[in-house]
Chain A
Amino acid sequence: MKKLYAIIFITFFSQAAFAVQTIKANVNGMVCAFCAQGIEKKMRALSQTKDVYVNLKQRVVAIELKEGQTLSNDTVKDLIKDAGYEVTSIEITDHPVAHIKAELQEKKEAK
């Protein structure tokens, strides 16, 4: 019985962990909120997007996807290019946008 509980717990936990997928892009040229609003608007317009976070100082754009949704790196790069900026690197993380925001703010305060 204990084994069954453990399996249920692990299964639930792993599903929860995989439920969140966030694309974190490092972007060059992003210096002004008024100009960078295009990135946020283009990302939020996608049906796959749950939340978007932009950090000018750390040059990061994070796009959290809705559960079960995917978005290719090329699509992200193209949309950011259309907004006038250049993606230097992309990573996929299972942290939600709120976590990335807190992490970057912590990093800023540490400086």
Chain B
Amino acid sequence: MQTTIYKQCLLALCLITALQLLSFQAAAGPMGFKDSFMAMGDFNNNWRETFINYAITPRDAFGISATYMRSDDKDKTRTLEELTYTRLLKRWNMPEAQANLWFIGGIGALQGENEQIGKDDDFDKIMVTPGVQFDYETTRVYLAATYRFYRANDINHDYSSVRAGFSFYETEYDKTQPWFILEARNMNGLSDKIEVTPMLRLINKSFFVEAGVNNFHEPRFNFMYIF
């Protein structure tokens, strides 16, 4: 109980910090432009996700996703294969900034395994994963907050994350721009801890990669690619 309160307080603190940064100055989003495919990957020891979607309009994308999740003690493992839908609910295009509100959701098959002494428990369930993301970006500042339900019968692995970062300097459109990004996230029911990962992000007009080491000394790698 105390751990849960601690987690919620820390996430609230991160969110407040992110919102405070907005007063200084206000993408990459979860889908590309109309008629484009976007491939994404997010990998560390306990969370491995691959995702591809196709934007049928400037605001709607359908895709498929495969996710592997594991608890900190390695006793629980989950795999999830989903059909996904991404919707740009609202975009604010400002002279020197862009902000977005996204709906991200999916439905799919969850396979789980809970290892217990003398009794292993395997199961298959239908999981639904509706969520929202808000992000705000300038050429120098990036902020994002995500909350996504991961629910099945008797299962709650809700995902929450906040991100804040800045670019070291501005670059031309066709040059690679380095960013520092700090992320705090948690997956309910799989970890009692907040995973905090400082990452180096490199953005180019052709690619987007992030790499870092989290507070458990584990490596993390993310990428996005639009084609």
Contact = CB atoms under 8 A, between A and B. Distances in A.
Interface residues of A, number: 27
Interface in B1-52: 27-29, 32-34, 36
A33 B226 contact: no
Contact of A83 (B28, B33, B95, B170): B33
Contacts, number: 86
A57 B92 CA distance: 18
A38 B33 contact: yes
A34 interface: yes
Interface in A24-69: 28-42, 54-57, 59
Interface residues of B, number: 35
Interface string B142-172: 0000000000000000000000000000111
A84 B95 contact: no
A38 B171 CA distance: 18
Given A36-B173, A81-B58, A83-B58, A31 B33 contact: no
Contacts of B28: 32, 34-35
Most buried by B among A42, A56, A88: A56
A82 interface: yes
Contact of A31 (B91, B98, B171, B175): B98
A33 B91 contact: no
A31 B139 contact: yes
Closest 7 CB pairs of A and B: A29-B93, A38-B33, A29-B98, A28-B93, A33-B205, A86-B93, A54-B173
Interface of B: 27-29, 32-34, 36, 58, 88, 91-98, 137-139, 170-175, 177, 203-208, 224, 226
